[in-house]
Amino acid sequence: MNRRDVIARLGPGGVLWLWLGPQQIARGASIVAVRIWPAKDYTRVTIESDAKLQARPFFVADPPRLAVDIEGIDLIPGLQELVSKVRSDDPNISGIRVGQNAPNVVRLVVDLKRPIAPQVFDLAPVAAYQHRLVLDLYPTAPPDPLEELIAQRLRELEALAPAPAAADDSDPLGALIARQDRPREAMAAPPSAQAPAPGPAGPPHPAEPPQMTEARRPSFSAKQRPTEQTDQLIIVALDPGHGGEDPGAIGPGGTKEKDVVLSIALQLRDRINRTRVNGHTMRAFLTRDGDYFVPLHVRVDKARRVQADLFVSIHADAFFTPRPQGGSIYALSDRGATSAAARWIANKENAADLVGGLNVRAKDLEVQRTLLDMSTTAQINDSLRLGSAMLGEMGRVGKLHKPRVEQAGFAVLRAPDIPSVLVETAFISNPDEEQRLRSPRFQAEMADALLRGIVAYFAKNPPLARSRQM
């Protein structure tokens, strides 16, 4: 008797299963888990099973819905769980229906809130996962990171002062719009995986035409649009590691890296948004602000899209044994890793895409991106300066694992024009540090330390030197 038979006999539908006959049960796969990761960028639906599922997707435009016929399984409660897992605030999905379409064929219908370019694909078992059937639902009109930043700023200005923000002689909103208006010759490559995707059977995704950027520029009233540039805006891209299907490292107490690093990033964002450097306003931009998977190269693309002045990736370290402890900071290397440990960490962090699960189009874009990425010595030197400033401050909050900035080939630090560091805040595999990582106090102290490091870096290396202003 195999495991599936045992499940069938023990489960509430056991009688029905036995009536269906042994052949059908033997052909079927068992659902291990179902998950939904809603986000503005895209919503992912994952069906994990103990054998590969045969899926046949077809898209219906009006009203927008994605139907997927899954062969080799029978309607079981595991799959029906999807129906109740749809959140009312999901930006893309309005509901899911599951029905037995034919013997051994289950039809999944995903009702959509807006037009979607789906990617349906499967992933072979990796890490803790068995077979995964994945539905990535990208809005055909994807959010633009720079527009998001502007919209966020507008909301803040409205909330802060009923009177126009003109009272402030600086004009951060104008600076944002100016960035939007700047030519982006360096951004000729598709900005991110948020661009419309072809269906699974569609042709390879063409590079996004540059005029798309023009078309998506937000419109502002004459009153809002500044007449001239008055202030420089400093944008710090914060990159909370992992997310969604990729939990990152998991501590002995079950703490997930993706959760604590997002929490620290959100605290750091608030601090950055309240801070001015040399009279300039700072804005934080998050490469992910929720629990969903963002491929490594998309994180880099997003930061470049908003023309970030800095890129700070936030992680928590892990090792096989509980002893190692302390924070560390990494920069990119163009000549191999500075230590075996640094190489090991880089390999581990670079594996995030494997666990998170890249779809076909994300893979295509990654290849294009790799060709484009040529990090410069200047970027690495700036990154080392930034890392040193931050490391000094981190040492005042907790132990340091390494006394100096280490280097290795981290995929997420490859923006050729943005000083970029990866912060391992502490060892989540160390029980004491896992507790600290969970504590709001440590998170706040870490955010304070990272902010002080950023401010110290800008004090010595004003981004003005990079001729930002119009």
Question: Rounded distance, CA 321 to CA 171, Å?
Answer: 51
Closer to Zn ion at the Cβ: 241 or 463?
241
Least distance CB 242 / Zn ion (angstroms) = 6
Other beta carbons within 10 Å of 16: 13
Which three-class secondary structure state does DSSP give residue 156?
A: helix
Nearer of residues 382 and 424 to Zn ion, judged by Cβ = 424
3-state helix, strand and coil shares in percent for the chain, rounded to the nearest 5: 40, 25, 40
At its nearest, how many Å lie between Zn ion and the CB of residue 246?
9
On the 0-12 / 13-18 / 19+ scale of CB atoms within 10 A, 184 is middle
> What is the smallest separation between the CB atom of 291 and Zn ion, expressed in angstroms?
15
> Residue with CB nearest Zn ion?
315
The yes or no reply on residue 248 touching Zn ion (CB under 5 A) is: yes
Residues pairing with 120 in the sheet: 135
Min dist. Cβ of residue 260 to Zn ion (A):
10
**Cβ proximity to Zn ion, 112 vs 411, nearer residue:** 411
Whether the CB-CB separation of 93 and 86 falls below 8 Å is answered with: yes
Q: If binding is defined by CB under 5 A, does position 240 make contact with Zn ion?
A: no
Whether 453 and 390 have beta carbons less than 8 Å apart is answered as: yes
Residues contacting residue 160 through CB under 8 Å, at least 6 positions apart: none
Instruction: Please identify, using beta-carbon distances, which residue of 7 and 351 lies nearer to Zn ion.
Output: 351
Is residue 244 a contact point for Zn ion (CB under 5 A)?
no
**DSSP secondary structure string, 75-127?**
--HHHHHHHHH--TT-SSEEEEEEEEEETTEEEEEEEESS-EEEEEEEE--BT
Residue 421 Cβ vs Zn ion, minimum distance, rounded to whole Å: 13
- C-alpha 441: how far from its chain's center? 25
Nearer to Zn ion, 64 or 248 (CB): 248
**Shortest distance (Å) from residue 248 CB to Zn ion:** 5
Question: Which CB, 315 or 401, lies closer to Zn ion?
Answer: 315
Number of residues binding to Zn ion, judged by CB under 5 A: 3
Helices (H), 256-376: 257-273, 296-305, 340-350, 352-356, 360-372
- Return the number of the residue (136 or 239) whose C-beta is nearest Zn ion: 239
| Positions in 209-228 near Zn ion (CB under 5 A) | none
Minimum distance of Zn ion from residue 192's CB (angstroms):
20
Q: Which stretch binds Zn ion (CB under 5 A): 14-22, 41-49, 308-316, 394-402?
A: 308-316
Whichever of 43 and 383 has its CB closer to Zn ion, that residue is 383
- Which of 112-120, 153-161, 314-322, 337-345 is the region at the interface with Zn ion (rule: CB under 5 A)? 314-322
- Dihedral of CA 201/202/204/210: which sign? negative
In the sheet where 54-60 sits, what is the strand order? 54-60, 65-71, 105-112, 93-102
Q: Which of 304, 315, 385, 414 touches Zn ion by CB under 5 A?
A: 315
According to CB under 5 A, which one of 145, 174, 241, 251 is a site residue for Zn ion? 241
| Tokens encoding 176 | 């944002």
Q: Which is nearer to Zn ion, 315 or 452 (CB)?
A: 315
Q: How far is the CB of 422 from Zn ion (least distance, A)?
A: 8
Of 28-36, 110-118, 237-245, 448-456, which segment contacts Zn ion by CB under 5 A? 237-245
Residues that bind Zn ion (CB under 5 A): 241, 248, 315
